[in-house]
Amino acid sequence: MKIGIMGGTFNPIHNGHIHIAKAAFDDAKLDKVLFLPTGVSYMKQGVVPSFHRFNMTKLAIEDYEYFDISDIEVKRPGFTYTKDTIEELKAINPEDELYYIIGTDTLYMIEKWYEPQYLFSNLIFLVADRGDENSKLKAKELSERFNASISFLNCDFLDISSTYVREKIVNKEYDAIASMVPEKVLDYIKTNRIYDELSIPEIIRILKEELPEKRFYHTIGVRDMAVSLAKKYGVDINKAEIAALLHDCAKYMSLDNMHAICNRYFFNLTSLEAVNEGLLHSKAGACLAVEKYGIKDQEILDAIIYHTTGRPGMNTLEKIIYISDFIEINRKHSPKLPEYRKRVFYDLDSVLIDVLYDCIYHVKSVGHDIDSKTEETFKYYTNKK
Among 7, 221, 285, 310, binds ligand NAP (CB under 6 A): 7
Is the CB of residue 322 less than 8 Å from the CB of residue 306?
yes
The dihedrals phi and psi of 252, each to the nearest 5 degrees, come to: -105, 20
Among 18, 20, 229, 301, binds ligand NAP (CB under 6 A): 20
Is the CB of residue 100 less than 8 Å from the CB of residue 122?
no
Give 161 or 228: the residue with its C-beta nearer to ligand NAP.
161
Asked if 24 touches ligand NAP (CB under 6 A), the answer is no
Asked if 4 touches ligand NAP (CB under 6 A), the answer is no
Asked if 194 touches ligand NAP (CB under 6 A), the answer is no
Give 169 or 320: the residue with its C-beta nearer to ligand NAP.
169
Q: Which residues contact residue 332 at a Cβ distance below 8 angstroms, ignoring those fewer than 6 apart?
A: none
Give 103 or 285: the residue with its C-beta nearer to ligand NAP.
103
Name which of residues 86 to 145 contact ligand NAP (CB under 6 A): 102-106, 113-114, 128
Asked if 81 touches ligand NAP (CB under 6 A), the answer is yes
Nearest distance from residue 295's CB to ligand NAP, in Å? 21
Span of 133-141, 154-162, 292-300, 337-345 interacting with ligand NAP by CB under 6 A = 154-162
Give 8 or 221: the residue with its C-beta nearer to ligand NAP.
8
Give 43 or 170: the residue with its C-beta nearer to ligand NAP.
43
Contact map string, positions 32 to 51, toward ligand NAP, x by CB under 6 A: ----x-x----xx-------
Give 123 or 246: the residue with its C-beta nearer to ligand NAP.
123
Span of 56-64, 77-85, 253-261, 270-278 interacting with ligand NAP by CB under 6 A = 77-85
Nearest distance from residue 81's CB to ligand NAP, in Å? 4
Span of 80-88, 171-179, 193-201, 362-370 interacting with ligand NAP by CB under 6 A = 80-88
Q: How large is the greatest C-alpha to C-alpha distance in the chain, in angstroms?
A: 73
Q: Which residues contact residue 246 at a Cβ distance below 8 angstroms, ignoring those fewer than 6 apart?
A: 203, 285, 288, 289, 293, 295, 300, 304
Nearest distance from residue 313's CB to ligand NAP, in Å? 21
Give 35 or 293: the residue with its C-beta nearer to ligand NAP.
35
Nearest distance from residue 38's CB to ligand NAP, in Å? 4
Among 4, 10, 123, 323, binds ligand NAP (CB under 6 A): 10
Name which of residues 162 to 181 contact ligand NAP (CB under 6 A): 162
Among 50, 57, 70, 82, binds ligand NAP (CB under 6 A): 82
Nearest distance from residue 211's CB to ligand NAP, in Å? 37
User: Cis bond leading into 12, ω under 30°?
Assistant: yes
Give 74 or 300: the residue with its C-beta nearer to ligand NAP.
74
HEC profile of the chain: CEEEEEEECCCCCCHHHHHHHHHHHHHCCCCEEEEEECCECCCCCCCCCHHHHHHHHHHHHCCCCCEEECCHHHHCCCECCHHHHHHHHHHHCCCCEEEEEEEHHHHHHHHHCCCHHHHHHHCEEEEECCCCHHHHHHHHHHHHHHCCEEEECCCCCCCCCHHHHHHHHHCCCHHHHCCCCCHHHHHHHHHHCCCCCCCHHHHHHHHHHHCCHHHHHHHHHHHHHHHHHHHHHCCCHHHHHHHHHHCCCCCCCCHHHHHHHHHHCCCCCCHHHHHCHHHHHHHHHHHHHHHCCCCCCHHHHHHHHCCCCCCCCCCHHHHHHHHHHHHCCCCCCCCCHHHHHHHCCCCHHHHHHHHHHHHHHHHHHCCCCCCHHHHHHHHHHHHHC
Name which of residues 244 to 303 contact ligand NAP (CB under 6 A): none
Nearest distance from residue 49's CB to ligand NAP, in Å? 15
Interacting residue ranges for ligand NAP, rule: CB under 6 A: 7-10, 16-17, 20, 36, 38, 43-44, 80-83, 102-106, 113-114, 128, 157-158, 160-162
